[in-house]
């Protein structure tokens, strides 16, 4: 997998991030760079992607892996184009998160943790995303979808399907309209 | 209407941008601080204000600042803790996305007070869209001379960066946060040394919550003494409360500390009463980690007086009969809520979020989730309830960081105040399943 390499723009951004930290502390850029890599290389961190990030920061590959495996937002296996993350903790549970999860499972024909055969959706349940006042909610890429109802969920899935694009945490979205 | 110090302008159109923010008095605190005050005088003002950490622990901010070591030739750092992950808490998200400049302003004034030339905002990865909002605000601050070199012509330099996390509750613990900022797993450090002595890159570091740093702005603008006049007793100033659960008006509210809990839940200015006209059953007043209290105990103190929204009043009664203000994550549960099932979501949360470094927490949180799952599923025994109690007691106080305590307290308080409900799950599981009383489906708008 020699073709794992950031685009020119991304590499420039990565270098800008690396330059923030004091001399010898470039490892601080690891989490930001893994985010850039995951967004650019199919939504997950393959061993080749992690090797590439290690080479950029001049650190051991295992240092990348031990970090990538610690944080829940880094995917170490391939995921669908739209990774649906549904919050299931207290406030969301109080306002019907379990029913939203069940609805998603029925609608997509998959269970939590699985990916649809067309590679479009992966369904994941996650812990509190800080959207307790607008529960129940789910996150797809950078976008928070809040105050969910079955109809709203159906509409979101339809839109995702029609767009057909991979959603990432780096997407420019407007969540709070002020 | 209560006094507003942070959200006074939150509904002004365009307040997210620099021009409108500046027109509404923005950056006055930086001007006052850098041009007319010494760093020492600023720390004194913050001490006088009585401002306490708004992230959950409530430690006096001025005191934390005064612990910062200042060895010659060693850089110091200010890190803003924007890893808001405590279930029930979403106030920092609101503040940062709505008025990003107030955090930038607070960080500049605080950095000057601490002699810091490089500062970071560590924000949870899920809030990635807010990274863009903050970076835009920071860019505007640079363009207008509030950041960079020779700020306001005084020779003071400051750079401010946003650092993004990647999904780990534990990184809200300040030493785990620093590890993460150094590009490592978020395992909390053994203390001492405290970050004030050896923090980021081994250098003296102050870590403060978003709301704390934003509150430095009104403290400087009005002066520490005037700030201390607001609120009640040692709970000075205002507090952002994230209200969620079974209430008519979920959202973020800025309250002057000292209003009654009853007023907060039932008045139209705040939560607007319980959803669907139901009765109040219980409240988790300060984020998932604090003890849950039944309705009568959250509304009233043991002596019959009304309980107030303040650090002291909420903790009145100790762990037997009180709770904590914590992060201000105020979760309200109506009469139909199953305390046992809600606790299961908390136990699952702490198991998922334990970093695994200390065995009491790593093993204990896993067993608490398993046992609660067994009880909720209708296979529990009376001995399981005692076992849960025993496990939580063995986690508390036996771990490097407070996550262990945070996992233990919800379990202890639920059993203490609602033991009969656990027993009902054990003695009559099929009845519980059939009983509408413990049916979460009613909460869903679709059913």
The tens-digit pLDDT sequence of chain B (447 residues) is 678 999 999 999 999 999 999 999 999 999 999 999 999 999 999 999 999 999 999 999 999 999 999 999 999 999 999 999 999 999 999 999 999 999 999 999 999 999 999 999 999 999 999 999 999 999 999 999 999 999 999 999 999 999 999 999 999 999 999 999 999 999 999 999 999 999 999 999 999 999 999 999 999 999 999 999 999 999 999 999 999 999 999 999 999 999 999 999 999 999 999 999 999 999 999 999 999 999 999 999 999 999 999 999 999 999 889 999 999 999 999 999 999 999 999 999 999 999 999 999 999 999 999 999 999 989 999 999 999 999 999 999 999 999 999 999 999 999 999 999 999 999 988 877 654 433 343 333 333
Contacts of A24 by beta carbon, 8 Å cutoff, 6+ apart: none
CB-nearest partner of B337 from A70, A94, A103: A94
For chain A, give the number of residues: 178
Q: Where in chain B is the domain with CATH 3.40.50.11540?
A: 18-229
CA B224 to chain centroid, in Å, comes to 23
CA A22 to chain centroid, in Å, comes to 29
The interface pTM score, or ipTM, of the predicted complex is 0.97
Q: Where in chain A is the domain with CATH 3.40.30.10?
A: 82-163
Cross-chain residue pair A133–B161, CB shorter than 8 Å:
no
Please state, in angstroms and rounded to a whole number, the distance separating the CA atoms of residues A4 and B153: 46
Please state, in angstroms and rounded to a whole number, the distance separating the CA atoms of residues A33 and B26: 33
Q: Where in chain A is the domain with CATH 1.10.10?
A: 8-68
Place of tokens 């003002």: B45
- Interface with chain A: mutation pick from B244, B411, B439, highest number of A CBs within 10 Å: B244
Answer whether B9's CB lies under 8 Å from B214's CB.
Answer: no
Please state, in angstroms and rounded to a whole number, the distance separating the CA atoms of residues B298 and B313: 10
Q: Can you tell me the mean pLDDT for A99-126?
A: 96
What is the CATH class of B237-334? alpha beta
The CATH classification of domain A8-68, taken from the options 1.20.1080, 3.40.630, 1.10.10, 1.10.3470: 1.10.10
Question: Chain A contacts of B246, Cβ < 8 Å?
Answer: 94
Contacts of B75 by beta carbon, 8 Å cutoff, 6+ apart: A22, B117, B118, B203
Q: Where in chain B is the domain with CATH 3.10.20.600?
A: 237-334
Classify domain B18-229 by CATH architecture.
3-Layer(aba) Sandwich (3.40)
Place of tokens 């204000």: B49
Question: Chain A contacts of B337, Cβ < 8 Å?
Answer: 94
Strand locations in B233-379 (E): 235-236, 238-245, 251-256, 280-284, 292-294, 329-334
The CATH classification of domain B339-443, taken from the options 1.20.1440.230, 3.40.50.2300, 3.40.50.720, 2.60.40.10: 1.20.1440.230
Please state, in angstroms and rounded to a whole number, the distance separating the CA atoms of residues B311 and B324: 7
- In the CATH hierarchy, which fold is given to the domain comprising A82-163? Glutaredoxin (3.40.30)
Beta-carbon neighbour count of residue B342 at 10 Å?
26
Helix (H, G, I), strand (E, B) or coil at A60: coil
Please state, in angstroms and rounded to a whole number, the distance separating the CA atoms of residues B163 and B180: 10
Cross-chain residue pair A73–B84, CB shorter than 8 Å:
no
- DSSP-H helix ranges across B193-302: 210-222, 224-229, 261-266, 295-299
Helix (H, G, I), strand (E, B) or coil at A104: helix
Please state, in angstroms and rounded to a whole number, the distance separating the CA atoms of residues B324 and B337: 21
């Amino acid at each position: 997998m020699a073709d794992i390499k950031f685009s020119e723009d991304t590499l420039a951004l990565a270098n800008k991030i690396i330059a923030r930290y004091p001399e010898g502390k470039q490892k601080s850029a690891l989490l930001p760079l893994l985010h850039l890599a995951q967004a650019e290389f199919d939504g997950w961190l393959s061993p080749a992607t992690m090797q590439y990030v290690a080479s950029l920061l001049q650190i051991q590959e295992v240092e990348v892996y031990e970090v990538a495996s610690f944080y829940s937002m880094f995917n170490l296996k391939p995921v669908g184009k739209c990774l649906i993350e549904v919050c299931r903790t207290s406030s969301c549970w109080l306002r019907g998160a379990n029913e939203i999860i069940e609805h998603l499972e029925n609608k997509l024909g998959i269970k939590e943790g699985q990916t649809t055969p067309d590679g479009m959706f992966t369904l994941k349940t996650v812990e509190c995303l800080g959207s307790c006042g607008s529960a129940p909610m789910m996150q797809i890429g950078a976008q928070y979808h809040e105050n969910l109802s079955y109809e709203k969920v159906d509409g979101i899935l339809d839109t995702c399907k029609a767009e057909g694009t991979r959603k990432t945490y780096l997407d420019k979205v407007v969540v709070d309209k002020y | 209407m209560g006094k507003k110090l942070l959200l006074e302008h939150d509904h002004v159109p365009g307040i997210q941008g620099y021009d409108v923010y500046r027109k509404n008095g923005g950056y006055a605190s930086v001007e006052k601080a850098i041009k007319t005050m010494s760093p020492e005088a600023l720390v004194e003002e913050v001490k006088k204000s009585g401002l306490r950490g708004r992230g959950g622990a409530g430690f006096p901010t001025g005191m934390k600042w005064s612990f910062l070591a200042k060895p010659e030739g060693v850089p110091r750092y200010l890190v803003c803790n924007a890893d808001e992950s405590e279930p029930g808490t979403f106030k920092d998200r609101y503040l940062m996305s709505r008025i990003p400049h107030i955090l930038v302003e607070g960080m500049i004034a605080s950095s000057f007070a601490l002699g810091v030339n490089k500062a970071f905002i560590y924000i949870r990865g899920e809030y990635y869209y807010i990274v863009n909002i903050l970076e835009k605000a920071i860019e505007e601050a640079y363009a207008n001379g509030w950041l960079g070199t020779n700020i306001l012509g005084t020779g003071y330099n400051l750079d401010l960066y946003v650092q993004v996390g990647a999904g780990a509750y534990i990184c809200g613990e300040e030493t785990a946060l620093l590890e993460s900022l150094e590009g490592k797993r978020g395992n909390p450090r053994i203390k001492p040394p405290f970050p004030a002595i050896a923090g980021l890159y081994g250098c003296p570091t102050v870590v403060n919550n978003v709301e704390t740093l934003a509150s430095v702005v009104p403290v400087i603008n009005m002066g520490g003494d005037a700030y201390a006049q607001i609120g009640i007793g040692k709970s000075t100033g205002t507090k952002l409360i994230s209200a969620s659960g079974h209430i008519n008006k979920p959202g973020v509210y800025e309250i002057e500390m000292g209003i009654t809990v009853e007023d907060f839940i039932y008045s139209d200015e705040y939560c607007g009463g319980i959803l669907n006209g139901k009765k109040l059953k219980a409240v988790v007043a300060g984020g998932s980690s604090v003890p849950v209290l039944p309705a009568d105990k959250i509304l009233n103190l043991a002596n019959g007086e009304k309980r107030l929204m303040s650090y002291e009043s909420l903790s009145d009664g100790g762990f037997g009969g009180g709770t904590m203000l914590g992060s201000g994550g105020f979760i309200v549960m109506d009469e139909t809520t199953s305390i046992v099932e809600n606790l299961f979501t908390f136990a699952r949360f702490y198991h998922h979020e334990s970093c695994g470094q200390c065995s009491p927490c790593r093993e204990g949180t896993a067993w608490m989730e398993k046992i609660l799952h067994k009880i909720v599923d209708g296979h529990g025994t009376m001995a399981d309830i005692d076992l849960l109690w025993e496990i939580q007691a063995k986690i508390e106080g036996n771990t490097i960081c407070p996550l262990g305590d945070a996992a233990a307290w919800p379990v202890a308080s639920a059993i203490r105040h609602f033991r009969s409900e656990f027993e009902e799950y054990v003695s009559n599981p099929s009845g519980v399943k059939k009983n509408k009383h413990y049916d979460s489906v009613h909460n869903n708008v679709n059913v």
